[in-house]
Amino acid sequence: MFVDFFYQLREARIPVTIREFLTFLEALDKDVARGNIDEFYFLSRASLVKDERFFDTFDLVFGNFFQGAMNKTEGLLEEYIPEDWLQGVAREMFSEEEIDEMSFEELMEELAKRLQEQDGQHHGGNRWIGTGGTSPFGNSGQNPRGFRMGGEGGGKSATKMWQKRDFRSLRGETEIGTRNMKMALRRLRKFVREGAEDEFDLDETIKSTADRGGMLDIKMRAERKNKVKVLTMFDIGGSMDSFIRISEELFSAVRTEFKYLEYYYFHNFLYERVWRQNRRGYNEWIPTHEVMNTYGSDWKAIFVGDATMSPFEITEVGGSIEHWNEEAGELWLRRFLATYPDAVWLNPVPQERWMATPSIRMTYQLLEGRMFPLTVDGLDAAMKLLRQGRQAASRH
Amino acid sequence: MARLIGGRGCITFRAHPKAFLSKDHFMKFTGTDNYVATDDLMTAVNAAITLERPLLVKGEPGTGKTLLAMEVAEALGMPLYEWHIKSTTKANHGLYEYDAVSRLRDSQLGDDRVQDINNYIKRGMLWESFVSDKPSVLLIDEIDKADIEFPNDLLRELDRMEFYVYETQETVSAINRPVVIITSNNEKELPDAFLRRCFFHYIRFPDEETMEKIVHVHFPDIKKRLLKEALEVFFSIREVNGIKKKPTTSELLDWIKLLLAEDIDPEVLRGDSTKAIPQLHGALLKNEQDVHMFERLAFMSRRQDG
């Protein structure tokens, strides 16, 4: 019976492996959960699910499966029956008044009776509905006594932990995206020897000892550390609003991945000023020049923006929609790229639309093609390029 | 219902109503004098003990992950070996380190010690716990701090509970398999192969009711009203969207300590969370941007009121 459970978990896309399943069976065999359904639930969760993001899904599957199993032992529900089907049948067979009048048990009994009568005609012989208990009925909303899952029912334990769905907030589908991004960003990691000399340098020691005619001369060196410097520039102009979430995801991924990370925000396009904070507090800007002077060209610049605007915002003096810019955005971007020649631009707009949007096309050309879609693959390609740029530069 | 009493530092006793101790399960964890474990935590710990597999504990900072290992050790009367992981920690460090440099030096000085290589092998925590003369608890703390490959390098050692020492050509196997407890702050993803071998438990952030108990444990004399207001402020801060670093249990405790020391009137706290940044917020908000955000929120709400 647990094999079914295992497959249901897998169907629900919880990454359970056979090894974990065997561990679970072994634990059952050794009496870790002693006949108490709650303990059984805790044990199965601890052994089968290794990530809190799947706890909620697990609760659902567990609830479904063992609701069925419990009813089965009482001979009440023969088979798992899809919720929609049951609701459909119920609506088909009972009038509103009937549903209102009858208790849940009566309703179920009646339903079973009627279904048996027309067995084989409409819904096939195997789908049989039992009486009472809690079936995976969901909340049809028609009858408070009727189609309700959880709470009452034939279960023996007072509180069913899995029905509370305490872990719903941990589902976090977005986190998976962040993780993918992290993996892609990891490509950028660059190891540099820095700090105290606390690592034994075998090669140097041998060489130096040999040089001194066999008198031992120990050489130490600093350990390798991840030291890549990233300068991210986020567009928080109005047109980016719909992409803010995806940008922030990238941002959070970037934050944990590098030791040196600076982030600035720009509005629509790069002009003579950038912002340190993502709220559009207008007064706290920093001259773009200052940014370029502060961070040397060994920093990796990453732009995140949709580059979607009217072309004159890029090309014209005074083109900015927010302020009078003395110099065109194009000029500023060129200056910036002169300092950070490897800079890449990540664009959340789907790649197919790039060439159809003049401003994206222009930005793409300014960056000499180093624009990538904000997808895992795009990110991967962008990081690869940033890294290669570095390798070429460090060969000197 | 037993509740987890977490938080940093000292913990105080709450009796646990459920005694699982029975003759056929002489090694069973039921919480200790200082630490009351939730039912799900106990099941996970006991599964890990019974099946001799590692237990991976995740959860927000300040929920008592590290403490768990100490308390398990105490409850079971076992010695505890703590291995704290840093970003530079390598898997080898837990097994042993061969101090070739000292040996080379000694050989130059003609020290007799040099003849025995064992003099230069420093045992790691894993080794210590393997050869401990009675069963022990091994804590691998904050495994996610290390490099992403780190857990994979320990797979075999944790699975078989043995490893090979190349320098002396001996195999160290566990006399008694230690109870291995591993904590993670979720900073990095752990490899699947590693996860498959562990039991897993996620410690949730305490709810308001639990938090009240925790505070009471630390400050038994705190006035009800102050506690209520303080908790309200605390939880409302945690709920603010976009806050970069949510305050944790230990920060709440620090803050309350300050409130008590300064003898702050609960009335002052009332409405604090919306009209101004909380009194002595330094204990709760540790991030400049968070403080700024609060100032802005406070400003906006004052303007609405005015």
Estimate the crossing angle of helix A244-257 against helix A173-185, to 10 degrees: 50
Is pLDDT at A150 greater than 60 in this prediction?
A: no
- Cα dihedral A34, A36, A41, A45 in deg (nearest 10): -30
Which among B146, B132, B211, B130 is positioned nearest to B182, based on CA atoms?
B146
Whether residue A277 lies within 8 A of chain B, CB to CB, comes out as yes
Q: What is the mean pLDDT of residues B42-54?
A: 88
pLDDT tens digits along B54-72:
999 988 777 778 888 888 8
Same domain as B292, residue B219: yes
Q: What is the DSSP letter of A223?
A: E
Is pLDDT at A176 greater than 70 in this prediction?
A: no
Same domain as B154, residue B64: yes
- Average the pLDDT over each of A1-10, A74-83, A147-156, A243-252 and give the range with the smallest value: A147-156
Which residues on A lie below 8 Å from B56 (Cβ)?
50
Which residues on B lie below 8 Å from A19 (Cβ)?
196-197
Same domain as B173, residue B65: yes
Between B212 and A104, name the one with better pLDDT: B212
Query: Which of B93, B114, B183, B202 is the best substitution to test chain A (most A C-beta atoms within 10 A)?
Result: B202
Distance CA A294, CA A303 (A): 17
Task: Check the CA dihedral A267-A269-A273-A276 and report its sign.
Answer: positive
Residue of B nearest to A256 (CA): B187
Q: What is the mean pLDDT of residues B279-293?
A: 75
Among A65-79, A380-394, B15-29, name the most confident range. A380-394
**DSSP-assigned states of every residue in A5-18:** HHHHHHHTT----H
Whether residue A42 lies within 8 A of chain B, CB to CB, comes out as yes
What is the per-residue pLDDT for B248?
Answer: 82
Among B96-100, B177-181, B291-295, name the most confident range. B177-181
Query: Which of B190, B200, B201, B294 is the best substitution to test chain A (most A C-beta atoms within 10 A)?
Result: B200
Residue among A26, A49, A200 whose CB faces B51 most closely:
A26
Long-range contact pairs involving A359-366 (C-beta distance under 8 Å, separation at least 24): A359/A307, A359/A308, A359/A309, A359/A310, A359/A311, A359/A313, A359/A314, A360/A306, A360/A307, A360/A308, A362/A311, A362/A314, A362/A315, A362/A330, A363/A307, A363/A314, A363/A333, A364/A307, A366/A330, A366/A333, A366/A334, A366/A337
Whether residue A194 lies within 8 A of chain B, CB to CB, comes out as no
Distance CA B20, CA A364 (A): 67
Q: Which residues of B have a CB under 8 Å from any CB of A?
A: 25, 39-40, 43-44, 46-47, 50-51, 53, 55-56, 58, 88, 100-101, 104-105, 107-108, 148, 187, 189, 192, 195-202, 204, 289, 292, 296
Same domain as B213, residue B190: no
Query: CATH number of the domain that B160 lies in?
Result: 3.40.50.300
What is the per-residue pLDDT for A148?
Answer: 32
Distance CA A358, CA B272 (A): 50
Q: Which residue, of B203, B229, B263, is where some domain finishes?
A: B203
- Pairing relationship of beta strands B80-84 and B121-123 according to DSSP bridges: unpaired
In this prediction, does ipTM exceed 0.90? no
Inter-chain CB proximity B43 and A182 less than 8 Å: no
Q: Which residue, of B153, B187, B203, is where some domain finishes?
A: B203
Q: What is the mean pLDDT of residues A269-295?
A: 78
State how far residue B259 is from chain A, nearest Cα, in angstroms: 31
Distance CA B301, CA B306 (A): 9
Phi then psi dihedrals of residue B9, to 5 deg: 75, -135
Residue of B nearest to A223 (CA): B88
Is pLDDT at B181 greater than 90 in this prediction?
A: yes
Type of residue at A91: R
Residue among B105, B189, B201 whose CB faces A46 most closely:
B201
Whether residue A216 lies within 8 A of chain B, CB to CB, comes out as yes
Task: Specify whether the backbone of B184 is left (phi greater than 0), alpha (psi in -120 to 50) or beta.
Answer: beta
Inter-chain CB proximity B39 and A256 less than 8 Å: no
Same domain as B249, residue B140: no
Structural contact between residues B63 and B8, judged by C-beta atoms closer than 8 angstroms: no
Q: What is the mean pLDDT of residues A248-266?
A: 72
- Number of A/B CB contacts below 8 angstroms equals 77
pLDDT tens digits along A159-170:
455 666 666 655
**Average pLDDT along chain B:** 77
Whether B73 is covered by a domain: the verdict is yes
Share of chain B above pLDDT 90, in %: 12
Spatial neighbors of A172 by CB under 8 A, at least 6 apart, are A53
Whether B17 is covered by a domain: the verdict is no
Structural contact between residues B120 and B99, judged by C-beta atoms closer than 8 angstroms: yes
Domain boundaries A227-394, corresponding CATH code = 3.40.50
**Structural tokens at position B128:** 């210590």
Q: What is the mean pLDDT of residues A208-224?
A: 78
State how far residue A49 is from chain B, nearest Cα, in angstroms: 7
Share of chain B above pLDDT 70, in %: 80
Between A359 and B263, name the one with better pLDDT: A359
Long-range contact pairs involving B10-19 (C-beta distance under 8 Å, separation at least 24): B10/B218, B11/B35, B11/B67, B11/B217, B12/B217, B12/B218, B14/B213, B14/B217
State how far residue A218 is from chain B, nearest Cα, in angstroms: 8
Domain count, chain B: 2
H helices of chain A, where?
2-11, 18-29, 37-48, 55-73, 83-93, 96-101, 104-117, 161-164, 173-185, 202-211, 244-257, 288-294, 312-315, 329-339, 358-366, 376-394
Q: What is the mean pLDDT of residues B152-160?
A: 87
What is the per-residue pLDDT for A96?
Answer: 60
Which residues on B lie below 8 Å from A42 (Cβ)?
39-40, 43-44
End-to-end C-alpha distance for chain B, whole angstroms: 46
- Average the pLDDT over each of A190-194, B138-142, B183-187 and give the range with the smallest value: A190-194
Is pLDDT at B224 greater than 60 in this prediction?
A: yes
- Pairing relationship of beta strands B170-173 and B162-165 according to DSSP bridges: antiparallel
Same domain as B181, residue B220: no
Distance CA A89, CA B205 (A): 43
Same domain as B264, residue B159: no
Which among A1, A167, A48 is positioned nearest to B47, based on CA atoms?
A48
Structural contact between residues A167 and A113, judged by C-beta atoms closer than 8 angstroms: no
Inter-chain CB proximity A46 and B200 less than 8 Å: yes
Which among A253, A189, A261, A185 is positioned nearest to A227, based on CA atoms?
A189
Whether residue A370 lies within 8 A of chain B, CB to CB, comes out as no
- Average the pLDDT over each of A125-139, A230-244, A346-360, B119-133 and give the range with the smallest value: A125-139
Inter-chain CB proximity B56 and A218 less than 8 Å: no
Same domain as B276, residue B142: no
Distance CA A351, CA A371 (A): 10
State whether residue B32 is helix, strand or coil: coil
Whether B8 is covered by a domain: the verdict is no
- Average the pLDDT over each of A140-154, A232-246, B282-296 and give the range with the smallest value: A140-154
Which among A226, A233, A152, A172 is positioned nearest to A195, based on CA atoms?
A226
Residue of A nearest to B38 (CA): A42
Distance CA A55, CA A49 (A): 7
Spatial neighbors of B184 by CB under 8 A, at least 6 apart, are B56, B57, B58, B142, B143, B144, B190
Query: Which of A44, A47, A284 is the best substitution to test chain B (most B C-beta atoms within 10 A)?
Result: A47
**Structural tokens at position B300:** 């906006």
Whether B283 is covered by a domain: the verdict is yes
What is the per-residue pLDDT for A246?
Answer: 67
Type of residue at B261: A
Cα–Cα separations (whole angstroms), residue B57 to A15, B118, B267: 18, 35, 39
Residue among A47, A200, A256 whose CB faces B100 most closely:
A200
Is pLDDT at A26 greater than 80 in this prediction?
A: yes
Is pLDDT at A48 greater than 50 in this prediction?
A: yes
State how far residue A142 is from chain B, nearest Cα, in angstroms: 34
Whether residue A17 lies within 8 A of chain B, CB to CB, comes out as yes
State whether residue B158 is helix, strand or coil: helix
Query: Domain map of chain A by residue range?
Result: 2-151, 194-225, 227-394
State how far residue A50 is from chain B, nearest Cα, in angstroms: 5
Structural contact between residues A27 and B50, judged by C-beta atoms closer than 8 angstroms: yes
- Average the pLDDT over each of A231-235, A268-272, A372-376 and give the range with the smallest value: A372-376
Whether B228 is covered by a domain: the verdict is yes
**Structural tokens at position B38:** 């939730």
Residue B19 binned pLDDT confidence (cut-offs 50, 70, 90): very low
Distance CA A196, CA B138 (A): 30
Inter-chain CB proximity B44 and A46 less than 8 Å: yes
Inter-chain CB proximity B200 and A50 less than 8 Å: yes
Whether B18 is covered by a domain: the verdict is no
For residue B256, the enclosing domain spans: 208-305
Whether B109 is covered by a domain: the verdict is no
What is the per-residue pLDDT for A300?
Answer: 85
Inter-chain CB proximity A32 and B51 less than 8 Å: yes
Q: From the centroid of its chain, how far is CA A266?
A: 26
Q: From the centroid of its chain, how far is CA A191?
A: 27
CA angle A104, A105, A110 (to 5 degrees): 100
Same domain as B289, residue B143: no
Q: What is the mean pLDDT of residues A294-302?
A: 85
Same domain as B300, residue B227: yes
Residue B37 binned pLDDT confidence (cut-offs 50, 70, 90): low
Q: Which residue, of B151, B176, B203, is where some domain finishes?
A: B203
Type of residue at A198: D
Phi then psi dihedrals of residue A139, to 5 deg: -110, 100
Whether B15 is covered by a domain: the verdict is no
Same domain as B165, residue B80: yes
Q: What is the mean pLDDT of residues A47-73?
A: 77
CA angle A348, A349, A352 (to 5 degrees): 135
Distance CA B140, CA A380 (A): 33
Which among B164, B137, B174 is positioned nearest to B55, based on CA atoms?
B137
Same domain as B243, residue B181: no
Query: Which of A51, A157, A247, A257 is the best substitution to test chain B (most B C-beta atoms within 10 A)?
Result: A51
pLDDT tens digits along A117-139:
544 434 333 333 433 333 333 33
What is the per-residue pLDDT for B20?
Answer: 35
Residue of B nearest to A179 (CA): B189
